[in-house]
Amino acid sequence: MAAHLRDDDRPLPSWTTRCVNCHVGTSTAAAFAPPLTHDSLLGATRRRGGPISHYDATAFCRAVKDGIDPAGVLLRKSMPRYQIADAECAALWQFVVGQ
């Protein structure tokens, strides 16, 4: 899936844009980004200093494509902005929250 960083339209290598690279920790290091789990996405949480919010399919796809969380707060520059079709993003959402 094609992706780039905010303010930089150069395409990123596919191996650098795998969700698990940042959202899953290892035995020797903590995750860089919040977990992509049913509870963490659907739970009402204050994120990045914004108001309490939760993800739904629309908010998730906005974060994936545009780097904006459900409260309208800009995600870190290190979060890739993916070029993904609406139907693919909806399927990704269903996969992630079904875990």
Model confidence, pTM = 0.89
Q: What is the pLDDT of residue 63?
A: 97
Sketch out the chain's domains with CATH numbers: 3-97 (1.10.760)
Q: What is the pLDDT of residue 77?
A: 94
Q: Is the pLDDT of residue 31 over 90?
A: no
Q: Show contacts of 65-74: CB within 8 Å, 24+ apart.
A: 65/89, 67/6, 71/47, 73/47, 73/48, 73/49, 74/6
